[in-house]
Structure 1
């Protein structure tokens, strides 16, 4: 049992024990939407649960299961078309569904607070952080402005924001995703709500920041005695951070109970299917050297590429900031190379430079042995046709006005050698490859998240590229759809032999599909090697920190599932010998040095002088 769960259970069995009246009681809740005939069709059916002060409940299930609708119903924020068909919601002795709009406004924020999935949507980009944090205290709690400012600064310190006074003067866009999520958490907890609803609060965050945000959230709710509803599709996080779980499937509650029981020995086949879909290492996959090192010429070669960005300094000046320091790697046909690291580590900057979307400060990129970034526009177009990209958010990268077949056919526009019939055949084959045969006339909004990502993969695949770059291709998908997309991508690679460069912060995904791994930290490569070398013998302190940041659910149907923290071997040298970007001015240059493992492919960044 984790420390978080032990503390929560102590609260549960103490002053806020099971004999107290529930803070929240949901009974027989059903929600529906009218169809084209005007008949209301249920999408959430007969949901019931109770939550006492200080308790935590996770609501889990795949996309479309009704998780978020339940959270919005508790806040009176259902879509206009939604109808509560039956049921009751009692909060702190008050029936919520019978409330007037004015009464709902009294409950929101002070009684029930909510942390949404995307912090940038929740924060107003036109106002400074200080104005947004103090507004509710002044208006809702009647706190004097000076006192509200002091309370907001104190809360920013509690959520571990550096320089909280300076933070109050800045705008949301000046912060990373993880810091924005902390700002939202601070804003919500300033009003000291009795119940906090966190709707996928860490989906888009890397594993280190994810752990930091969840640790802060659970620490605050524990200290304040706040109840927590955690809406998520990440079962490992649910197991580590909550007491009870409600498993939903297509609007129905299929299983509920204590986390320790439900996720260790589930009763329902659907819960077992969710656990089976957790990413795990495929023993049958090649381990880097099976592909790399055969002597074949690489299809893609990156030589000492660095990326700089320009940012304003003062009113009129600009300065160059290095987002990606010089790095080199090769990629062979049929191989999958993963670049991992936290947000802002330079992963996407380097890959954007590889395809010429941003300029390089130095270095060159070769495709099939020939450079192309500075070889003229014709050569660059040819290279971009051979290197295709699958972006993180398929909805924003697909034109909502175009039908699926037209979107996929766009990948063939640069190829003037194909006839109309050949293009049609190629598009049909690409859609069949990704399991979307017959979806030609669908529009993007008619597809699920997983289907949209399949369309994006079909568009990349249709031109028969030599390299596919997948930038966080499954981070926004639930665990079952994630597995389907990854399995499909692996099968397509085996069939067509393209090289794959995956950018990800999800180590479970990387461990499942990668042959080799590069670990980046603040723009620098700190470790590289085969998948098994990096995951089994992580040799840089940062790599070890990444691997230990997020708990994992491990087990089998026969023996049950349990939360585990990954064990890492001791470092081969004193920690001070390993490269740290913050100490470059003190120690000078660093270099990638071979690790004391069986293969020469495993290298780690260490100070050159030691």
Structure 2
């Protein structure tokens, strides 16, 4: 399979001196007057022109290790022991002022979140120029020209215009390219890329990773790629280092680790990775034939959703003539990039948007005809689970109050009955009763998402809309939630509308799929049919962008689709 990636650089490109060599690193954080060690005797190296993936779940120590390497630990963090050698020089004991002299010039960081990493009150050009000014790489018009050159080099269209714009005027992918421009400005020997694409759509992710690889190949730069995505690590690294609880579980050439993992933890990570797994959580229940409307939980016909742009007295068409149906007790996925119209479609189905035209029938109810109290009562039938479990729960409420709240909003029950229902649904989602007295901050991400699911289910709806409901979770936690959703669907006969940009997850859990692009339907049908024989160039591009393409199961899908 052809790819822009070239991880097998000629060995002559690789120096005998590692760009980065970490030896027996131990890092601790001080909290409540005590030191808590979070990284234990970690050793790894990255050679020039090489990509080493540092993988593990949240709390594994991978970001702490990367921060220690560049001297950017939090104020309460410190290196207890071990060495950090950059091009053979131990920098672990250097003061911040001395480290400042090499950040950007010898070692650079591409952070995870492009939104919070750029200054909102400075132009893009000013922020790229800053690293050149700090290291005295020219002045005035010379720096301005270099900024334009860098923005063009990372693939930004109209670089002169982008230099004058502010971060909020750029898309997420464009902002990430700006961070890369800053990172490569002085051609450092080492780039640390900390989850550089985790917040991006799959096609944008592929373009960013391709760009990093092109720059690595051009400059011979070493890359330490911090990621929880085993598919990305599989595609983009020469070697993998697996961390758990701050300790190295195993490391070695990527192909060898993937083919024959030695540790149970690595095997678990690989089995849970959607793009590397062989099986599906859900066995397809779609039957042949054309069933009557009564067998459909959701019917969408010729849906159009316009939004008025009052400033210009114009309208923007977010959804353009979309139709699909969802069988009862099945999972239907709506996939596409940001701006494709998938979330707008979901909000119209739930009744949050009044369609401009078209028909939506949910459990036999024409949603487009509802208003006022009838619309409010309808929402007992269909409930929404949001993307981010850290933002969707009220931090002031206890978990009991979070789950109880919907019961108070619809036909309030006696307290004893509410308590019984809350405790029963908590059992159903696999959480202990002890969490009811806690607040959301005391729970992990996976626990919070279970609470969000419990809150949605406490009203006993027939349909759940899951809007990117697992995209913010680590791979093993994601797998747990997907298994839970499957168990709930089989036990309760639920129908799921699954909104996602992650086609690897969609393939695992969905029966049918609709692919949206620029508000229009470009592909639909049973999941395997769409993956094996995509009908549009856009769907083929989405499938080809799924990380983990070394996996033959997915690779064959792309090749079959490309041959259509």
Taking structure 1 as the reference length, the TM-score comes to 0.87
The match for 1:475 among 471, 476, 481 is 471
Summarize deviations over 1:379-436 as a string: whole Å, max 9, x none. Answer: 1111223221111111111112222121111222222242111111111112111111
Q: Equivalent residue of 2:104, what SS?
A: coil
CA contact 2:125–2:162 (8 Å) conserved in 1: yes
Deviation at 1:294, TM superposition (A): 6.0
Q: Equivalent residue of 1:153, what SS?
A: helix
CA contact 2:54–2:241 (8 Å) conserved in 1: yes
Q: For residues 246 and 565 of structure 1, do their structure 2 counterparts lie closer, same or farther at Cα, with a shift above 3 Å needed?
A: farther
| Pair 1:63 & 2:58 matched | yes
| Pair 1:33 & 2:29 matched | yes
- Highest relative contact order (Cα 8 Å, sep 6+), 1 or 2? 2
Q: For residues 473 and 206 of structure 1, do their structure 2 counterparts lie closer, same or farther at Cα, with a shift above 3 Å needed?
A: same
CA contact 1:544–1:568 (8 Å) conserved in 2: no
Deviation at 1:157, TM superposition (A): 2.1
Distance 1:5 1:328 in 2: 38
Gaps of 5+ in 1: 556-560, 574-610
Q: What are the equivalent positions in structure 2 for 1:34-433 lying under 5 Å apart? A: 34=30, 36=32, 38-279=33-274, 280=277, 281-282=279-280, 285-289=283-287, 293=291, 296-311=294-309, 317-433=312-428
Does 465-474 or 184-193 show the bigger shift?
184-193
Q: For residues 471 and 305 of structure 1, do their structure 2 counterparts lie closer, same or farther at Cα, with a shift above 3 Å needed?
A: same
Q: Equivalent residue of 2:473, what SS?
A: coil
Q: For residues 542 and 410 of structure 1, do their structure 2 counterparts lie closer, same or farther at Cα, with a shift above 3 Å needed?
A: same
Deviation at 1:359, TM superposition (A): 4.0
Deviation at 1:29, TM superposition (A): 0.9
Q: Equivalent residue of 1:40, what SS?
A: strand
Gaps of 5+ in 2: none
CA contact 1:390–1:473 (8 Å) conserved in 2: yes
Q: For residues 292 and 428 of structure 1, do their structure 2 counterparts lie closer, same or farther at Cα, with a shift above 3 Å needed?
A: farther
Summarize deviations over 1:494-543 as a string: whole Å, max 9, x none. Answer: 11112110111111110111111001111110111011211122122211
Distance 1:33 1:40 in 2: 6
Deviation at 1:80, TM superposition (A): 2.1
Distance 2:110 2:474 in 1: 19
CA contact 2:6–2:213 (8 Å) conserved in 1: no
Distance 2:140 2:556 in 1: 45
Q: For residues 227 and 551 of structure 1, do their structure 2 counterparts lie closer, same or farther at Cα, with a shift above 3 Å needed?
A: same
Deviation at 1:563, TM superposition (A): 8.8
Q: For residues 357 and 175 of structure 1, do their structure 2 counterparts lie closer, same or farther at Cα, with a shift above 3 Å needed?
A: farther
Does 407-416 or 489-498 show the bigger shift?
407-416
- CA-based RMSD of the aligned residues comes to 2.4
The match for 1:448 among 444, 447, 455 is 444
Partner of 1:578: none
Does 352-361 or 405-414 show the bigger shift?
352-361
Distance 1:2 1:441 in 2: 54
Q: Equivalent residue of 1:77, what SS?
A: coil
Does 337-346 or 408-417 show the bigger shift?
408-417
Distance 2:175 2:336 in 1: 19
Partner of 1:24: 20
